[in-house]
A and B are shown apart, each in its own frame.
Chain A
Amino acid sequence: MKIEAIHFGEGENDSEDRELRFDTCQSLWNQIKLETEQIQEDLNKQLLDNLVSFLRRSHSDFQEKKTEWTCRMKSREIPTAALVLGVNVTDHDLTFRNLSEALRNNITPYIALLEAKDCPGVKNLMQKLMGQLMNCSTDVVSLEDEDSVQVSQNRIRCSMNSLIDWYKSVTKKTDSETLSKKRTSSSRHQQSPPVVVIFKDMESFTTKVLQDFIVISSQHIRELPLVLIFGIATSPMIIHSLLPHSVSSLLCIELFQSLSCKEHLSTVIDKLLLTSRFPFKLGEKVLQVLINIFLYHDFSVWNFIKGFQLCIVEHFYSQPLSVLCCQRADAKKRVNSLSHDQCENIRRLPSFRRYVERQEAEKQIALLTADNFLKETTQKLLEDLHVYHENYVSVLRCLHVFTCSLPKYPLGKQIRELHCACLENQVWETEDYESFLQLARMLNKSDLETMLQQCVEILVSSSGNEFDKAIGKLKEFLTQFHKLEAEAFQEQDVSVSSQKELQKKTDLYHLQKTLLELKDSRRSKKLTKFEMLRFEVVDYIDSLVRNYLVPADHKTLHEIVYFNTASVLRGHLNAAPRIALHTALNNPYSYLKNEALKSDGGSISNKAPDICIVYKLHLECGRLINLVDWLEAFSTVVTAVEGPNADAASSDQVDDIIHARFIRAVSELELLGFIKPSKQKTDHVARLTWGGC
């Protein structure tokens, strides 16, 4: 992130702490970056471990039991890992980087990463491959013989044989090295480490290149222990569609699947947003924009994190009070050293104004006039906000325990959906919440018990300390459920006895009568103890929700930590070039901010730039535009500028200058792709766009 502090609030005086804001922003981002890297590493760990052990196995089998009969008889296949990574191609680079690092540390120094765009033919592939392999070997050999390696590399022919020669010389060298060093440092690699070739984007490789390469290398597998890794974005079926059986039978393919990107996103949201570790928060709309881009467009977690970073930068840049968006202890100190201007900024916050209005008259005056009193109050309010966060997250998780196991997921299956719903407005007023309560009142006992148990665990592990009472209450519910179990036996006895009675009655009249009675009693049945208890539990959860899951924008000073300007974000991340172009040409005021251009609706202002006039005129035309008519209309609009007095001078001859301006504007429009010359009619151009945008 290369933003200079100077840009934070440029042109304003330093009373808005722009340097401090910049530093806070930087340190916050660094923390988050570390955290995301950690998450990435944890999530990939399983996959990488599996791959590493696969690679370790791949060639060792043959080295160990070379003489065994089966090994002699089996055709030696090339070990191949099919690595299914999902369609989010932008995230793959990171995975491959981690992968090659892990391999370099554990298995082999000889790794080549190939991309389809570099390998249109086998020749290019071999060149690329040898270039990468031989470079990486220079890391291994010591400095003094680097020169000789450099020289030979230039002359070396790109064939499999020279690759094998290279491999032999390199392994011999390391062997002698390890012997002389008595196997000290470099023994972490195997005796003859495999050569790993990674095809980053399997789909884009041409069939011929892949086939030829596989056929060639399979002939030399005994001399060159090659391992292939296919990076697959779609499905492993692609292997069969790219390679015919005669080629795929040369491979020993094992499948590895990375975590789905949706799960990855859930983890990221869980660790970055649903935590009180980071002071910075995303507002509902902003979060929705980011999630929508993820779900609707790219599935890329990396883009999501970049979007998150943009939010941070934008927030610290545009909100002067973001200086207070830091850890609790720092915030207290910073409040004390706020300048007067900043205090005024606080007073201008809508949420703070609402807060003031709720106060008594004297307090209102104090808040609006005395900076010191304001600072004290701010400290308290910030503290409140922090406590609110801690509680919010815990209760949200509890609520999620309930919602995620109900049929049809009334409030969303994922916790992020629930989070958005709670941020948006008071969740208990929505219809979905209503249906959630109804469904919750129908839960069976064992489910309810496990859920309560989970809630207790969440609350116990939460950092907030307001939950002692809640925990006590939930535990009490649990014990009551246990008691019920004992009582349930008695109830069963009762029902059994009535059943017995039913069996005794033999004559039809009595049977009918008792059956009716039973039905009646069932209809107006009193609630059982379990049902009563269930109501209580649900009501209690409801009260927790109403207490703690208040939307953030109801909280005073939420503007300091919440970034909520979704429109800015949308403009940056989800650009709509055609709409922007249309707006610029149709309503130049929106960009030029020239008062003269402020037009009211359909009329064409004559002060607008030529291209805008030409554009507006062309919107009224059909498929083919007559250039002469267009010029006439243009000239009419333009000459109207000079007012009625120019009218007299007007002739049917168009002014040369206007003609030139028209031609320039039209060619600009052609450059932008709105029109193109047409061969169907002379002096006509074809329109290329339709609709408003």
Chain B
Amino acid sequence: MPNLEHPAYPAATLLQLESLVPCRESQVSLLLSIFGERQHFSFPSIFIYGHTSSGKTYVMQTLLSTLQLPHVFVNCMECFTSRLLLEEILTQLQSCSPETEQTSQVPCDTFNDFVRLFKQAVATQELRDQTLYIVLDRAEQLREMEANILPAFLRLQELTDRNVTVVLLSEIVWELFRPNTGCFEPFTLYFPDYSIGHLQKILSQNHPPEYSADFYSAYINILLGVFYMVCRDLKELQHLAALNFSKYCEPVARGEANERDSRKLWKNIEPHLKKAMQTVYLREISSSQWEHLQHDDGEPGQLKGLSAHTHVELPYYSKFLLIAAYLASYNPVRTDKRFFLKIYWTENILFLLLAILYSIVDNRVAPTANIFSQITSLVTLQLLSTVGHNDQLDGPRYKCTVSLDFIRAVAR
């Protein structure tokens, strides 16, 4: 295990940092060596990618705050326009330097403005001496903004002529970012998924104060045994661990088993966890309902999950309209031609739909306004969808969006 070493920082801080980022020591040490000393110019832009909850955001945040490096941390998801993003960075910058008094929002519409305002903001002595880090979380959102935003951020150091490093965090690879026109290539760093051993280690770290670390670690072992196949998301696993722990402790609390009776404990918790996998993990029932059930010792069977309520009650003609739409959408053209030859050439799916409707309903249907408005209601319910333009009054086309199972249930 490589101990973190860096001449620029005190050993105690590094030790503390190491304890905070388990299983990510090698990445952190690489980052530290790229960063160099506080006043050194670092690499202009760094691109970090890895799967969901592989610790990108957490590691960056801990690293920057533990070492007390000046930084700005922005989630691009939240800033859905470039203007919001740039203004957010500037606002955070203002709070970074204690000397400037709190000024009000500065409007910043373009990147040009941003560069100018950025220079003003980092004018203070303190910020000029150190590297400033701008971390852009969920950087994939940048691709949806104006085309100049991403390349400009990548070479912000050059544009502003200041000691600044931009760190991009993303779940997708750099290749999907690279614009057609080319740009400055950032330093890319991959955060691999946590292995099962890593997960075990990280999850066991936070054991509840009432129980020993070994006891909790055994529990995590069982939990991972059940859930590792379907879920490697650290956050989700931690959530599940917290939800089900009280059930695991039950035999101990009742005095039926002691903390080392691992077989008994396993027998108690294993079916429970399997049930959890089918219900609460899929969010079929909510975690608070799950806790309630656990508390009352009830059977989860009493509580129907979301998917259990598939039945949709529809008005009589809506049912037929939906079936007609399904037939119109999926019937092969050949049979359509055979059965509905007369109207087929019109290419108008509305007519086809109504023709099928008339032939599948037993009694005569008057083409009333209600029938037509029902088609529109089905569209609002997303059971049908319009094809082509919404405002095309002449010959609207619809497509049936529901599955065969649904149609079967309706037809019954």
Chain A residues close to B by CB (< 8 Å): 57, 61, 69-70, 73-75, 77, 79-80, 82, 84, 86-87, 89, 121-123, 126, 155, 157-161, 201, 203-204, 212, 215-216, 219, 233-240, 245-246, 248-249, 251-255, 257, 260-262, 293-299, 574-579, 623, 673, 676, 688, 690, 693
B-side contacts of A215, CB under 8 Å? 77
Q: Give the contact stretch, choosing among B95-103, B180-188, B240-248, B326-334.
A: B240-248
B317 proximal to A (CB < 8 A): yes
Complex: chain A residue closest to B317, CB-CB: A296
**Cross-chain contact A74 with B287 (CB below 8 angstroms):** yes
**Cross-chain contact B315 with A575 (CB below 8 angstroms):** no
Supposing A234-B381, A298-B315 touch, asked if A69 and B209 sit within 8 A by C-beta, the answer is: yes
**Cross-chain contact B381 with A70 (CB below 8 angstroms):** no
Q: Digitize B268-298: 1 where CB-to-A-CB distance is under 8 Å, 0 elsewhere.
A: 0000000000000011001111000000000
A-side contacts of B19, CB under 8 Å? none
B83 smallest CB distance to A (angstroms): 8
A310 smallest CB distance to B (angstroms): 15
Can you report 7 residue pairs joining A to B where beta carbons are below 8 Å apart?
Answer: A75-B235, A159-B88, A161-B88, A233-B380, A252-B288, A294-B315, A690-B343
A-B contact sample (14 more), CB < 8 A, given A161-B78, A294-B315, A574-B368: A70-B208, A123-B81, A159-B79, A212-B77, A233-B381, A234-B312, A237-B306, A248-B283, A254-B288, A260-B313, A296-B370, A297-B374, A623-B345, A693-B367
Supposing A74-B243, A212-B80, A249-B283 touch, asked if A237 and B309 sit within 8 A by C-beta, the answer is: yes
**Cross-chain contact A297 with B283 (CB below 8 angstroms):** no
**Cross-chain contact B382 with A204 (CB below 8 angstroms):** yes
**Cross-chain contact B374 with A234 (CB below 8 angstroms):** no
Supposing A74-B287, A260-B313, A578-B367 touch, asked if A203 and B382 sit within 8 A by C-beta, the answer is: yes
A669 smallest CB distance to B (angstroms): 15
- Pick from B307, B318, B368: contact of A237, CB below 8 A: B307
- Pick from B81, B306, B318: contact of A236, CB below 8 A: B306
- Pick from A89, A160, A676: contact of B381, CB below 8 A: A89
A215 to B209, CA, bound (A): 31
**Cross-chain contact B370 with A201 (CB below 8 angstroms):** no
- Pick from A122, A160, A219, A240: contact of B307, CB below 8 A: A240
**Cross-chain contact B309 with A253 (CB below 8 angstroms):** no
**Cross-chain contact A157 with B312 (CB below 8 angstroms):** no
* Tally of contact residues, B, Cβ under 8 A: 61
B377 proximal to A (CB < 8 A): yes
**Cross-chain contact A253 with B238 (CB below 8 angstroms):** no
B-side contacts of A216, CB under 8 Å? 75, 77-78
Complex: chain B residue closest to A236, CB-CB: B306
B-side contacts of A75, CB under 8 Å? 235-236, 238-239
B369 proximal to A (CB < 8 A): yes
B34 proximal to A (CB < 8 A): no
Q: Report, nearest first, the 4 A-B pairs whose CB atoms are least far apart.
A: A73-B242, A69-B208, A236-B306, A203-B382
Supposing A84-B309, A240-B307, A255-B306 touch, asked if A74 and B343 sit within 8 A by C-beta, the answer is: no
**Cross-chain contact A239 with B306 (CB below 8 angstroms):** yes
**Cross-chain contact B239 with A296 (CB below 8 angstroms):** no
B-side contacts of A298, CB under 8 Å? 315, 370, 374, 377
**Cross-chain contact A203 with B306 (CB below 8 angstroms):** no
B389 proximal to A (CB < 8 A): no
Supposing A73-B239, A123-B81, A576-B366 touch, asked if A234 and B382 sit within 8 A by C-beta, the answer is: yes
B340 smallest CB distance to A (angstroms): 11
**Cross-chain contact A253 with B381 (CB below 8 angstroms):** no
B295 smallest CB distance to A (angstroms): 12
B52 proximal to A (CB < 8 A): yes
Supposing A69-B208, A75-B239, A157-B84 touch, asked if A240 and B306 sit within 8 A by C-beta, the answer is: yes
